[in-house]
Amino acid sequence: MKTVIAWLPVVMLPAATLLLVPDDWPRWMLMWLFVWTIFAGCKWLTWWTAPSGAPWWRHCGYLTLWPGLDADSFLQSPSVSRPAASSWLFAFAKFGLGCVLVWGVAPLLPREPDLLRGWVGMIGIVFLLHFGVFDILSLAWQSAGVGAKPLMNWPILATSVSEFWGQRWNTAFRDLTHRFLFRPLTIRYGAKPALCVGFIFSGVVHELAISMPMGAGWGGPMAFFLVQGGAVFLERSPLGVRLGLGRGVIGRMFALVFLAGPSWLLFHPPFVGGVIVPFLDYIVARRSAS
């Protein structure tokens, strides 16, 4: 029964969104709601299965004011030192850059074609949220003595595709999949099958979050993550090791090609033009009206 309670919101919340949201809702609103319900279900899963011997305020904070998905570390971590002032300045600078891109640069770009405006705005949203707000929350919790590590760990410094996905980009999703997917499957079937399933799972989740709101672009996100899985296997192969595809300058270039090159498959034109651009238009108009 405990397992059912843990996993039930993961399934029911996104399913309820698909069934109950009116058809005339803006596609960007459906996307954000669907992403939130997936996140909320995963948040519940990690909290329900975590140790319970932590102060009540840590439980409340983990559930409401922390986007990470490593409940064990958040709830049980010993006190940490207060972050330096420079860390705060850097986090707010990234937040500010996101705001400039979203409300300053993107509205000045040509309306047609709209893909450039969508990509600039999307990069701005990532800086505003993932590198800005989430970093600020991390620093705030560290100031309170909680070991809440930043979710973005300098992804630009990755020297391999493996390092990018496993250690540097959105560690919340990595923590979730490692605990509930990769580690159990590795024990049972080995690392290679577990890695394949992990990238396929990522493809499914992103198909639902990116392709589903528009009902178009299906297959792009899955293809992107299959390419990522292939790149990981290639850089770990005997040939990849001899060529240095997983280290140094060559590894950095290899990662850049395989991460940036097929990114249009992940964020395909129907999503950028039908979800991101209308969302940007909405928040820019709201700010202008206020």
What confidence score (pLDDT) does residue 245 get? 95
Sign of CA dihedral 280, 281, 284, 285: negative
122 token code pair: 């999307």
Confidence class for position 53, pLDDT limits 50, 70, 90:
confident
User: Is residue 8 one of the residues assigned to a domain?
Assistant: no
Instruction: Confirm whether 271 is domain-assigned.
Output: yes
Taking only the tens place, the pLDDT of each residue in 1-12 is 778 899 999 999
Alpha-carbon separation of residue 273 from 87, 277, 278 (angstroms)? 35, 5, 7
Q: Mean pLDDT over residues 15-34, rounded?
A: 93
**How confident is residue 125, by pLDDT bands cut at 50, 70 and 90?**
very high
Angstrom distances, CA of residue 262 to CA of 25, 43, 223, 226, 257: 30, 30, 9, 11, 8
Residue 213 belongs to domain spanning: 155-289
3-state secondary structure 103-144: HHHHHHCCCCCCHHHHHHHHHHHHHHHHHHHHHHHHHHHHHC
Distance CA 82, CA 139 (A): 8
What are the helix (H) ranges across the chain? 2-20, 27-48, 56-64, 71-76, 85-99, 115-126, 134-143, 161-163, 171-177, 183-189, 191-206, 212-214, 220-236, 238-243, 248-260, 263-266, 269-271, 277-289
Predicted model pTM: 0.94
**Is residue 79's pLDDT more than 90?**
no
The answer to whether 161 touches 228, Cβ cutoff 8 Å, is: yes
Residue 216's φ and ψ, nearest 5 degrees, are -150, 165
Span 207-216, pLDDT tens digits? 999 999 999 9
Question: How far is Cα 275 from Cα 113, in angstroms, rounded to an integer?
Answer: 15
Say if 129 falls within a structural domain.
no
Domain tally, the chain: 1
What gap in Å lies between CA 220 and CA 207, rounded to an integer?
Answer: 8
In a domain, 282, yes or no: yes
- Cis previous bond, 155, omega within 30: no
The DSSP H or E segment spanning 40 is helix 27-48
Residue 166 pLDDT greater than 90, yes or no: yes
- pLDDT reported for residue 222: 98
CB 69 within 8 A of CB 173: yes
Q: Is residue 26 part of a domain?
A: no
pLDDT at 290 exceeding the cut of 80: no
Quick check: is 262 in a domain?
yes
Q: Percentage helix, strand, coil, to 5, in the chain?
A: 75, 0, 25
Reference 164, options 84, 121, 119, 225; nearest CA is: 225
- Which whole number is the average pLDDT over 200-228? 96
Q: Does residue 76 lie within any of the structural domains? A: no
Share of the chain above pLDDT 70, in %: 100
Q: What is the pLDDT of residue 113?
A: 82
pLDDT of residue 287: 79
Does residue 48 or residue 111 have the better pLDDT?
48
Q: If we measure between CA atoms, which residue out of 138, 11, 5, 27 comes closest to residue 83?
A: 138
- Collapse the DSSP code of 69 into the 3-class scheme (helix H, G, I; strand E, B; otherwise coil) and give the result: coil
Evaluate whether residue 92 is within a structural domain: no
Residue 173: predicted pLDDT = 92
Q: How far apart are CA 183 and CA 191, in angstroms?
A: 8
- Token pair belonging to 189: 């079937």
pLDDT, tens only, 56-70: 999 999 999 999 999
Q: How far apart are CA 109 and CA 103, in angstroms?
A: 11
